[in-house]
C-alpha cells in the first residue's frame, strides 16, 4: 500500500471506544501523561489560543532525551500544505495559471497532458515512490533529490496510471515537481522561497527544510520503531533499520512533498497566518479548501478520514484534506506518515479550533488521541484509553520462541478474551513483514508465511492481507501461490493498482 494511506488504513482498523461522559480536556491529557501511551507532542488551540501544549516520551530513545514543546519534527506530508500555499501565491502574482500544462514551465517534463492543477490535487496519474526503485537498485547509496525526478520520469516506461483528472491517486512525485516549478519561475531555491514568503511572514522562526548533509540545530525528534514489532519491546532510530533504508536514507533529499521541520508552536503560527489572510487573499484561500471535482464532474470523497476515527468523510482540495463530520462540521488539514513518524494538522473551520499532533513512534493510538482532543473541545466524550494488551505480540513472541503450533494454540486460547487482548491487522502485517525481511534466525521466512496464512483466516475480507501474503510468497519463490493471493486481493479491491502491476509481472514471466 502507498505510505500515505498505509497509516490511514492502520488507524482505521483500530476499534472505536467512547467513554461514558466528557471530561475536562486538561484532565484527559494529564491521564495520557500518566499512562505513557503517546510519544510526541500535541497542541490544541481554541480561537487561536493554545490551551494544551503536551509533550511526552523521548525525542531519542537511545540517549533518553525527552520530548519538549521545543522538539522539532519532520512534518512529513503536512509539508504539502506549505508547498501548495507557495504555488497559489505565485499563481496570484501572475507567474502561471493552474490550468497551464506543466511542460510549459518545465520543458523536460514528459507528459504533455498533465496540468499544474493535477499536481496539486493528486489527479495526474504519475508514479509515486516506485519511480526511484530502479535507480536505488542500481546505486544503493544514492540520496534522491528533486534533481532526479525529471530524468527518472523520462526512463519510466509504464506511462500514466490514468488520464489526468479521471482519478485521485495520492502521489509524492507531484509535489516534488511543484517545488521544481517554484524554483523555475522565481529563480530562488525552494528552501529560500519558503523561508522568505512562508516562514518569515508567519513568524515561524523554528522551522526549516532539511538538506542532506546539513547538520540541523535544536532538539530533533528522531523517528523510532521496534526492530521486530510483535516480539520486541525496544525502540531504535528508524534510520538504523536496514528494511527502511529506501525511505529513510535513499528518499531523504526530496522537497515539496515533505521534509519541512517544525514545532507545534510554529505550526500554530502558520495556522493563524493562513486563516487570517497573511499568506493568501481570501478568495484564494477559499479556492484552496474547495473539494476537487474529477473529469466526470463528481466530487472525490473518501469515507475513511485521515487519522481521525468516527463518522465523517474526506475530500481533497489544493493541497488540503477536507473533512466533513456531522458532529464537528467542516475542517481542513493534512496528515503525514513515514515509518516511525506520524503527524496531523487540523483546522476546524466551523468552530475555529486547531489541533497539531506529532508522534515519533507512529503509535497505533495516535488517531485516538487526536479524535479525543477534538471531541473534548466540543464537549463530547473522548475515546477511552485502551488497557488491553496486543494479541499479536503474544502470538509473535510464542511463534519465535516456541514455534507455530504453540503460537496457534496461544492465539486461539486468548482470541475471545476481548477485555484482556486486542487484535490489530496492521500489527499482524508488521509482524509478518519483519519476520520475513528483517530477521536472520533459522526458519524466520517460514514463520512469516505462517503469520500471513493465519491472517487470511482472521481477516478474510481484507485485500491488503492477501496482497502482503502474495508479496512474501513471490519473494519466497512460490509463484503459483503468489498469483492466487494477488488475484484474491484484486478481486476484493479492483483499485489495487500495485497488485495488478505485480500480478501482470508474475503472469508474464
Output the domain CATH number for residue 326.
3.40.710.10
What cell was used for 413?
486460547
Look at residues 333, 349, 377 and tell me which one is the last residue of a structural domain. Answer: 377
> Does residue 257 lie in a domain region?
no
The domain of 337 spans 3-76+220-242+262-377
Per-residue pLDDT of the chain (509 residues; tens, 9 = 90+): 344 444 444 443 443 334 434 569 999 999 999 999 999 999 999 999 999 999 999 999 999 999 999 999 999 999 999 999 999 999 999 999 999 999 999 999 999 999 999 999 999 999 999 999 999 999 999 999 999 999 999 999 999 999 999 999 999 999 999 999 999 999 999 999 999 999 999 999 999 999 877 777 789 999 998 877 667 778 888 888 777 788 888 889 999 999 999 999 999 999 999 999 999 999 999 999 999 999 999 999 988 888 888 889 999 999 999 999 999 999 999 999 998 999 999 999 999 999 999 999 998 889 999 999 999 999 999 998 888 888 999 999 999 999 999 999 999 999 999 999 999 888 899 899 888 887 888 999 999 999 999 999 999 999 999 999 999 999 999 999 999 999 999 999 988 888 998 999 899 87
Assess if residue 207 is contained within a domain.
Answer: no
26 and 149 co-located in one domain: no
Q: CB neighbours of 503 closer than 8 A, spacing ≥ 6?
A: 483, 486, 487, 490
Same domain, 299 and 236: yes
What the block records as the C-alpha cell of 151 is 530524468
Residues 365, 226 within the same domain? yes
Q: Judge whether 208 lies within some domain.
A: no
Nearest to 156 by CA among 114, 115, 219, 189: 114
Name the strand (E) or helix (H) holding 202: helix 200-202
Verify that 86 and 70 share a domain, yes or no: no
The residue behind cell 479548501 is 289
- Partners of residue 135 on adjacent β-strands: none
Supply the angle between the helices 3-12 and 425-438 in degrees, to the nearest 10: 130
Report which of 196, 255, 269 is spatially closest to residue 77, judged by C-alpha positions. 255
- pLDDT of 22 reads 55
Q: What is the pLDDT of residue 232?
A: 72
Distance of alpha carbon 497 from alpha carbon 509, whole angstroms = 19
Q: Helices then strands (H, E): number in the chain?
A: 20, 16
Indicate if 231 and 351 belong to the same structural domain: yes
> Does a structural domain hold residue 256?
no
Work out how many domains the chain is built from and give that number.
Answer: 3
Structural domain contains residue 248: no
Please give the pLDDT value at position 241: 79
pLDDT at position 23: 65
> Does 162 share its domain with 70?
no
Single out the residue of 500, 453, 495 nearest to residue 472, CA to CA. Answer: 453
Predicted local confidence at residue 229, as pLDDT: 62
Residues 98 and 20 in one domain: no
Kindly state whether residues 226 and 369 are assigned to the same domain: yes
- Report how far Cα 354 is from the mean position of its chain's Cα atoms: 19
Residues 120, 49, single domain; the answer is no
Q: Is residue 382 part of a domain?
A: no
Boundary of a domain, candidates 377, 399, 426: 377
pLDDT of residue 269: 98
Whether residues 437 and 502 fall in one domain: yes
Would 48 be classed as within a structural domain? yes
401 and 367 in a common domain: no
Which strands make up the sheet holding 208-209, listed edge to edge? 73-74, 260-262, 208-209
Whether 194 maps to a domain, the answer reads yes
Per-residue model confidence (pLDDT) at position 311 = 87
CA dihedral sign of residues 473, 475, 477, 480:
positive
**Grid cell listed for 86:** 507557495
- What's the CA dihedral at 67, 73, 77, 81 to 10 degrees? 110
Instruction: Tell me how far apart the alpha carbons of residues 74 and 413 are, in angstroms, rounded to a whole number.
Output: 42
**Whether residues 68 and 131 fall in one domain:** no
Measure Cα distances from 412 to 138, 327, 392, 421, 427 in Å.
45, 39, 12, 12, 17
Residue 333, phi then psi, degrees to nearest 5: 165, -150
| Domain limit, last residue, from 334, 357, 377 | 377
| Per-residue pLDDT, 437 | 81
Q: Are 100 and 82 in contact (CB under 8 A)?
A: no
CB within 8 A of 315, min separation 6: which ones? 291, 292, 299, 300, 301, 302, 321, 322, 324
**What are φ and ψ of residue 195, in 5° steps?**
-60, -40
Amino acid at each position: 500500500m502507498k505510505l500515505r494511506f498505509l497509516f490511514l488504513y492502520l488507524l482505521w482498523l483500530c476499534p472505536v471506544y467512547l467513554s461514558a461522559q466528557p471530561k475536562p480536556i486538561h484532565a484527559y491529557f494529564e491521564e495520557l501523561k500518566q499512562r505513557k501511551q503517546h510519544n510526541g507532542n500535541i497542541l490544541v488551540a481554541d480561537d487561536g489560543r493554545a490551551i494544551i501544549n503536551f509533550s511526552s516520551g523521548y525525542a531519542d530513545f537511545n540517549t533518553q532525551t525527552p520530548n519538549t514543546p521545543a522538539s522539532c519534527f519532520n512534518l512529513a506530508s503536512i509539508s504539502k500544505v506549505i508547498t501548495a500555499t507557495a504555488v497559489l501565491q505565485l499563481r496570484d502574482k501572475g507567474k502561471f495559471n493552474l490550468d497551464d500544462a506543466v511542460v510549459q514551465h518545465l520543458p523536460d517534463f514528459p507528459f504533455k497532458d498533465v496540468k499544474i492543477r493535477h499536481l496539486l490535487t493528486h489527479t495526474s496519474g504519475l508514479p509515486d515512490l516506485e519511480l526511484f526503485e530502479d535507480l536505488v537498485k542500481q546505486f544503493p547509496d544514492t540520496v534522491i533529490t528533486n534533481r532526479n525526478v525529471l530524468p527518472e520520469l523520462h526512463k519510466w516506461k509504464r506511462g500514466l496510471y490514468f488520464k489526468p483528472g479521471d482519478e485521485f491517486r495520492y502521489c509524492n512525485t507531484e509535489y516534488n515537481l511543484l517545488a521544481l516549478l517554484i524554483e523555475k519561475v522565481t529563480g530562488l531555491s525552494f528552501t529560500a522561497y519558503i523561508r522568505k514568503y512562508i516562514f518569515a511572514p508567519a513568524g515561524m522562526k523554528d522551522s526549516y527544510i532539511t538538506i542532506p548533509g546539513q547538520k540541523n540545530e535544536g532538539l530533533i525528534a528522531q523517528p523510532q520503531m521496534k526492530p521486530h514489532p510483535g516480539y520486541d519491546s525496544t525502540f531504535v532510530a528508524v534510520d538504523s533499520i536496514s528494511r527502511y533504508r529506501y525511505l529513510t536514507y535513499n528518499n531523504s533529499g526530496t522537497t515539496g512533498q515533505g521534509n519541512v521541520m517544525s514545532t507545534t508552536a510554529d505550526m500554530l503560527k502558520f495556522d493563524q497566518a493562513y486563516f487570517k489572510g497573511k499568506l493568501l487573499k481570501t478568495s484564494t484561500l477559499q479556492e484552496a479548501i474547495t473539494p476537487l471535482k474529477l473529469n466526470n464532474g463528481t466530487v472525490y470523497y473518501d469515507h475513511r478520514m485521515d487519522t481521525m476515527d468516527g463518522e465523517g468523510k474526506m475530500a481533497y482540495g489544493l493541497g488540503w484534506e477536507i473533512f466533513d463530520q456531522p458532529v464537528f462540521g467542516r475542517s481542513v488539514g493534512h496528515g503525514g506518515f513515514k515509518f516511525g513518524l506520524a503527524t496531523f494538522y487540523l483546522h476546524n473551520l466551523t468552530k475555529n479550533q486547531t489541533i497539531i499532533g506529532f508522534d515519533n513512534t507512529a503509535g497505533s493510538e495516535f488517531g485516538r488521541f487526536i479524535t479525543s482532543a477534538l471531541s473534548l473541545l466540543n464537549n463530547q466524550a473522548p475515546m477511552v484509553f485502551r488497557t488491553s494488551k496486543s494479541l499479536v505480540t503474544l502470538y509473535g513472541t510464542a511463534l519465535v520462541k516456541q514455534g507455530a503450533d504453540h503460537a496457534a494454540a496461544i492465539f486461539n486460547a486468548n482470541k475471545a478474551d476481548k477485555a484482556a487482548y486486542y487484535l490489530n491487522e496492521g500489527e499482524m502485517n508488521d509482524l509478518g513483514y519483519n519476520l520475513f525481511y528483517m530477521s536472520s534466525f533459522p526458519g524466520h521466512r517460514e514463520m512469516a508465511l505462517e503469520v500471513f496464512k493465519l491472517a487470511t483466516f482472521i481477516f478474510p475480507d481484507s485485500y491488503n492481507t492477501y496482497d502482503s501474503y502474495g508479496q512474501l510468497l513471490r519473494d519466497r519463490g512460490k509463484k503459483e501461490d503468489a498469483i492466487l493471493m494477488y488475484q484474491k486481493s484484486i478481486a476484493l479491491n479492483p483499485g489495487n493498482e500495485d497488485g495488478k502491476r505485480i500480478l501482470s509481472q508474475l503472469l508474464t514471466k
